[in-house]
Structure 1
Amino acid sequence: MSFGETPPSTDVFADDLLTGETALITGGGTGIGKALALAYADHGADVAIASRSMEHLEPVAEEIESKGVDACATTVDVREPDAVDAMVETVLEELGDLSILVNNAGANFLSPAETLSANGWRSVVGTILDGTANCTFAAGEHMIEREDGGAIISMGATNSVRGAPYHAHSGAGKAGVHNLMQTIAAEWAEYGIRANTVAPGVIRTEGVMEVMGEAVAERVIEDDLAADRLGTPADCVSVALFLSSPAAAYVTGSYYAVDGGQLLAPTPM
């Protein structure tokens, strides 16, 4: 069996799937976040993107607007609650609403646990877990007040449900993200707010390939995946769009691994 290329979302979902929605995507200037931002725009949503630097945000915002929807680009350090509050206020001022939040901002680096510094731990866990919590609470306050529900999607990782050698900081942070989404799903169900986790495995992005290289990528495909290729941002886009749409109206607190079978036990042969 061959795991073929995932088709563009525009070939799978209706063009007006998210018309009338306003999405905020953190880490929206590169990689999976950029792919998500453009796909949400393709399907009718107004889109806000945020990251620590405007360098990558402005060209993506221009591309979003070229699709006939409104865009907002704003800087934020998701580790800082006041900065996150200001980001949400900017989105509301410029786009008028916020009905979908995608927590995509992340950080990571390789380090054996025994040499991982306190600052290194705080930097990664602060971005992944504290950042997700800060954005969820700030956006959630508006979603509760609007009395029309909302969708919160957090990008986790498969290293959150098993040991994460050389990634103790990010594995622990992503595990916390999944637990947070389950808790929010339970507590905020009464407001019509759904919260789910999308957990990518090894996704072929520029940043990942800079660290991994093609030789390691081939070993991962051969030894660790049921699929015969690495994932792509498009693989994550389709799941996030589904979870943002009315098709997932009864889905909350769930965990979607987008990993080509990486979490499966290897075949004993």
Structure 2
Amino acid sequence: MPISYPPPHVPDLLPGGLLRGHTAFITGGDIGINLAIAPAFAHSGASVSICGRTERKLIAAADELKALGARVRCSVSDVRDAEAVSAALARTAEELDPVTTVVAGAAGSFFAPAEKFSPKGFGP
């Protein structure tokens, strides 16, 4: 789905260039609200690194973010794999700049009491 950005009120809230020199790392950045958050960082001048599990969606999202003028990288990585996420963060710092903001938006879709979450936060 194409990114529809910016909504009319966003430029008033997040002036272009506000985050120039910053790099945002967004997990789950290929879908849902996280995909809607990424263009706000791009509009504000930040470099954007998105990770998710679906390469096709990541590439499409990265292309649209680049069209907004952002420096972008994407990586296929599952947040349940700490080593993969660490590697994606390291590559972001190498290819863009050190990460200044993390949006930890990837999540499983299930209901469970918080005290039943495993350390990975994706189920008992």
Structures share a fold, TM > 0.5? yes
Gaps of 5+ in 1: 1-5, 114-120, 132-168, 174-269
Residues 62 and 74 in structure 2, CA contact (< 8 A), matched pair in contact too: yes
Alpha-carbon distance in 1 for matches of 2:74, 2:108: 20
Q: 4+ residue stretches of structure 1 with deviation over 2 A?
A: none
Identity value in percent: 34
Match of 1:17 in 2: 18
Structure 2: state its 5+ residue gaps.
1-6
Which residue of structure 1 lines up, in the alignment, with residue 52 of structure 2?
51
Write the letter of the residue equivalent to 1:104: G
Q: What's the Cα RMSD here?
A: 2.6
1:64 maps to 2:65? yes
Amino acid in structure 2 at the alignment position of 1:11 = D
Structure 1 residue 10, shift from structure 2 partner: 1.5
**TM-score normalised by the chain length of structure 2:** 0.80
Which of the pair has the greater relative contact order for Cα pairs under 8 Å at 6+ separation? 2
Q: Does 1:130 align with 2:120?
A: yes
- Indicate if the aligned counterparts of 2:14 and 2:40 stay in contact, CA closer than 8 A: no
CA distance in structure 1 between the aligned counterparts of 2:95 and 2:28, rounded to whole angstroms: 19
Paired letter, 1:88: L
Deviations 1:33-87 (CA, angstroms, capped at 9, x unpaired): 0011011101100000001121211111111111222000001111122112111
The 5 A counterparts of 1:24-43 are 24-43=25-44
Determine the C-alpha separation between the residues in 2 that align with 1:8 and 1:50.
27
Distance (whole Å) between structure 1 residues aligned to residue 45 and residue 8 of structure 2? 18
- Greater helix proportion: 1
- Count the aligned residue pairs: 116
Q: Does 1:94 align with 2:84?
A: no
Which amino acid is the alignment partner of residue 101 of structure 2? I
> What CA distance in whole angstroms lies between the structure 2 residues aligned with 1:84 and 1:29?
15
